């Protein structure tokens, strides 16, 4: 069983609204997005956001013709039906990633200040591929999804909890009101953000490009149900993966044991009427002698014969010399 493909299938069902049933009593995502827009305006008044932070905000809605439209800050409206990836359930909405979270890359940290091992008073340092090491300061405190923005694994998702340091290659995701952390973390993985990377030698992600990605958003209550369902499903996959690993180890052990039994003559019962191996070897030697006389093969420089003596020990005769080889016999 391909557990990686199974994990991706679960995430795909989740992002399409097919993992858990919808509840008509849930508050529609449209109301949630409106509340987030109000939160942004309040943050703007409090100085927590700047106008440039919301200048690209849009509203995606369905028109009377059942097509998707996007309304921009200047009031213009554009039909984006061809850009919408797939249909979502009733109560869901399409939005841009910037509508549900803020993303900000961390600050650079000299390599010689990042230690590979934990030391007293240190904090995890996140880079483009997860934890790079440990440093003596932190620039974030809380629980966040971290998106790697640089390197071969850019677009990978990690979770940071507590105090930590985010470098310029780690994008810290801060959620707006009503967005469930567990759901959003899985959805970031499901979006496969690495496909938006640019650059061949050193792939990288632009925060602006990531924030522009379409996201299907369910009601807050359903987000919680989806996150919990994914949790349970992935735990089952972990068990399957472990059992798969254990089975592979057992198969290798069994093969080795079978071969060991076979080489020791313990795999099948011996038939008392069977021709002894000594007779077989004598026949082989006679056949070799015949081939030598015919010039088809050359005689071995050192021909040997192994036999068991009257003392029950094994001996090898090479030319005219005989020596005990008990210590060499398995």
pLDDT at 65: 94
pLDDT at 105: 93
Mean residue pLDDT across the chain: 90
pLDDT band of 214, cuts 50, 70, 90: very high
The secondary element (H helix, E strand) that includes residue 90 is: none
Q: Tell me, yes or no, whether 228 and 318 share the same domain.
A: no
pLDDT band of 330, cuts 50, 70, 90: low
At 299, list the tokens. 């005689």
Q: Tell me, yes or no, whether 232 and 309 share the same domain.
A: no
Is 287 inside any structural domain? no
265: left (phi over 0), alpha (psi -120 to 50) or beta: left
- The CATH number of whichever domain residue 138 belongs to comes to 3.90.220.20
Is 320 inside any structural domain? yes
3 state SS of 210: helix
Q: Tell me, yes or no, whether 122 and 211 share the same domain.
A: yes
Least confident of 123-127, 164-168, 173-177, 268-272: 268-272
Q: Which of 239, 261, 290 is the last residue of a domain?
A: 239
Q: Tell me, yes or no, whether 207 and 318 share the same domain.
A: no
What is the per-residue pLDDT across 11-31, written as a single tens digit (0 to 9) for each?
Answer: 999 999 999 999 999 999 999
Confidence check: pLDDT of 200 > 80: no
Q: Tell me, yes or no, whether 228 and 329 share the same domain.
A: no
Residue pair 235/243 in contact (Cβ under 8 Å)? The answer is no
Domain with 304 in it: 298-330
Is 136 inside any structural domain? yes
Q: Mean pLDDT throughout 243-249? A: 83
Q: Tell me, yes or no, whether 177 and 89 share the same domain.
A: yes
Q: Tell me, yes or no, whether 306 and 180 share the same domain.
A: no
CB atoms within 10 A of CB 45: 9
Is 244 inside any structural domain? no
3 state SS of 162: strand
Is 158 inside any structural domain? yes
What is the per-residue pLDDT across 108-144, written as a single tens digit (0 to 9) for each?
Answer: 999 999 999 999 999 999 998 889 999 999 999 999 9
Confidence check: pLDDT of 162 > 70: yes
Q: Tell me, yes or no, whether 323 and 192 share the same domain.
A: no
Q: Tell me, yes or no, whether 131 and 12 share the same domain.
A: yes
C-alpha gyration radius of the chain: 34
Residue pair 16/22 in contact (Cβ under 8 Å)? The answer is no
Pick the residue with more confidence: 2 or 193? 193
pLDDT at 1: 62
Total domain count, the chain: 2
Residue pair 78/69 in contact (Cβ under 8 Å)? The answer is yes
| Sole residue written with tokens 């932190």 | 138
What is the per-residue pLDDT across 146-160, written as a single tens digit (0 to 9) for each?
Answer: 999 887 788 999 999
Is 109 inside any structural domain? yes
CA 220 to chain CA centroid, Å, is: 27
pLDDT band of 227, cuts 50, 70, 90: very high
Per DSSP, the residues of 50-80 read: -HHHHTT--EEEE-TTS-EEEE-TTS-EEE-
Q: Tell me, yes or no, whether 100 and 216 share the same domain.
A: yes
Strands 123-127 and 157-166: parallel
Q: 107, exposed or middle or buried, with CB in 10 Å at 0-12, 13-18, 19+?
A: exposed
Is 262 inside any structural domain? no
Among candidate residues 221, 223, 205, the one with its CA nearest the CA of residue 213: 205
pLDDT at 224: 96
Q: Tell me, yes or no, whether 209 and 89 share the same domain.
A: yes
d(CA 105, CA 135) in angstroms, rounded, equals 17
d(CA 212, CA 95) in angstroms, rounded, equals 9
Is 166 inside any structural domain? yes
Q: Tell me, yes or no, whether 228 and 85 share the same domain.
A: yes
Confidence check: pLDDT of 164 > 80: yes
Confidence check: pLDDT of 300 > 80: no
pLDDT band of 278, cuts 50, 70, 90: confident
């Amino acid at each position: 069983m391909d557990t990686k493909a199974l994990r991706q299938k679960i995430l795909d069902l989740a992002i399409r609204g097919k993992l858990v049933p919808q509840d008509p009593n849930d508050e529609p995502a449209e109301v949630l997005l409106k509340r987030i827009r109000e939160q942004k305006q309040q943050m703007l008044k409090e100085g927590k956001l700047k106008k440039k932070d919301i200048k690209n905000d849009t509203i995606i809605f369905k028109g009377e013709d059942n097509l998707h439209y996007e309304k921009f800050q200047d009031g213009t409206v554009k039909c984006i039906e061809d850009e919408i990836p797939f249909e979502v359930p009733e109560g869901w909405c399409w939005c841009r990633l910037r509508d549900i979270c803020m993303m900000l890359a961390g600050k650079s940290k000299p390599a010689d200040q990042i230690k590979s091992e934990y030391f007293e008073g240190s904090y995890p340092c996140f880079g483009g591929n997860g934890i790079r090491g440990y440093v003596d300061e932190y620039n974030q405190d809380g629980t966040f999804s971290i998106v790697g923005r640089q390197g071969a694994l850019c677009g990978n998702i990690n979770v940071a909890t507590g105090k930590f340091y985010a470098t310029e290659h780690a994008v810290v995701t801060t959620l707006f009101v009503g967005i469930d952390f567990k759901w959003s973390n899985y959805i970031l993985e499901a979006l496969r953000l690495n496909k938006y990377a640019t650059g061949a030698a050193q792939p990288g992600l632009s925060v602006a490009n990531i924030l522009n990605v379409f996201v299907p958003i369910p009601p807050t209550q359903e987000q919680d149900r989806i996150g919990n369902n994914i949790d349970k499903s992935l735990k089952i996959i972990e068990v399957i993966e472990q059992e798969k690993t254990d089975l592979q180890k057992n198969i290798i052990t069994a093969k080795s044991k079978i071969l060991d039994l076979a080489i020791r003559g313990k795999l099948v019962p011996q038939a008392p009427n069977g021709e002894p191996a000594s007779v077989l070897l004598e026949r082989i030697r006679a056949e070799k002698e015949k081939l030598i006389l015919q010039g088809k093969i050359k005689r071995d420089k050192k021909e040997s014969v192994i036999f068991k003596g009257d003392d029950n020990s094994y001996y090898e005769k090479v030319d005219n010399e005989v020596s005990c080889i008990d210590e060499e016999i398995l």
